[in-house]
Amino acid sequence: MAKVRTIDIINKFNLELLAGEEGVNRPITTSDISRPALEMAGYFEYYPAERVQLLGKTELTFIEKLTERDRQMRLEQLCTDLTPAIIVTRDLEVPAELLEAAERESVPVMRSRQKTTRFSSHLTNYLESKLAPTTAVHGVLVDIYGIGVLITGKSGVGKSETALELVKRGHRLVADDCVEIRQEDQDTLVGTSPELIEHLLEIRGLGIINVMTLFGAGAVRTHKRISLNIDLEIWDKNKTYDRLGLDEEKMKIIDTDITKLTVPVRPGRNLAVIIEVAAMNFRLKRMGMNAAEQFTNRLADVIEDGDVDDR
């Protein structure tokens, strides 16, 4: 099923549909946009027909200078069965030959009042967001001090209860149980909640609660960039856990690696405070302040001084 169709950008940008109404359900498969300058000059050998075609003042002025025969032939070549849309910007007059060819081939021709460069930027951002690679992860996403923290772990380990405590401490819930993640850039993951369970938390013994109703609009947000993964696991006495924080583990989601911390769970541990501090410490590390490295350097200095004194 296509993620984006021509009708979606018509509605999103309030475009005026001029021709090719039968093709408004054509799929848009790429975020790349084409401004067919070489094509208007007659070079169609590498014409990217699958892209949205954008005609601005430059292209239309050039078309007007062509002979009637050349204009008709090139505008007909512009309309293919793959072309999802042709958009004219600046509210410019659309050539009659383009409208006729588009109507025959069912290629939607739309018009926007925005300037070409501005509209191209807005359309590219919209398509990149909608067409970005996506996945779903079982976990909870919380915005803690501006850091998007993805809390994962086996069912029943206490993810939702921890998220509830974090919300009570003033942080914001993004998603519970299922986090939909899209990769908007090579190193940018953005998490959202499925619409069906947005703002909801499932607490065993209580059932489903609406966080926004209980704690207000400031306790939730619709999306958040994911920077840190906290993986909760039942305490294993036979396992050695990191006590200094020098080793940095990674979690791979789609094509992006994010920092992963494994936090053991056992009675008496305040997980909300631990995760809160982990988020603050992560921020400090990004600012160049690493407490574990500072301690290691101090320890090395003490050992070195001790060696000197022994001599």
Residue set of the binding site: 153-160, 202
Tell how strand 52-55 and strand 33-34 pair up: parallel
With helix as H, strand as E and coil as C, how does the chain read? CCCCEHHHHHHHHCCEEEECHHHCCCECCCCCEECCHHHHCCCCCCCCCCCEEEECHHHHHHHHCCCHHHHHHHHHHHCCCCCCCEEECCCCCCCHHHHHHHHHHCCCEEECCCCHHHHHHHHHHHHHHHHCCEEEEECEEEEECCEEEEEEECCCCCHHHHHHHHHHCCCEEEECCEEEEEEEECCEEEEECCHHHCCEEEECCCEEEEHHHHHCHHHECCEEEEEEEEEEEECCCCCCCCCCCCCCEEEEECCEEEEEEEEEECCCCCHHHHHHHHHHHHHHHHCCCCHHHHHHHHHHHHHHHHHHHHC
Q: Catalytic positions, please?
A: 138, 159, 177, 243
Picking from 236, 214, 51, 224, the residue whose alpha carbon sits closest to that of residue 147 is: 224
Residue 194, amino acid: P
CB 76 within 8 Å of CB 17: no
Which residues belong to the annotated binding site for Mg(2+)?
Answer: 160, 202
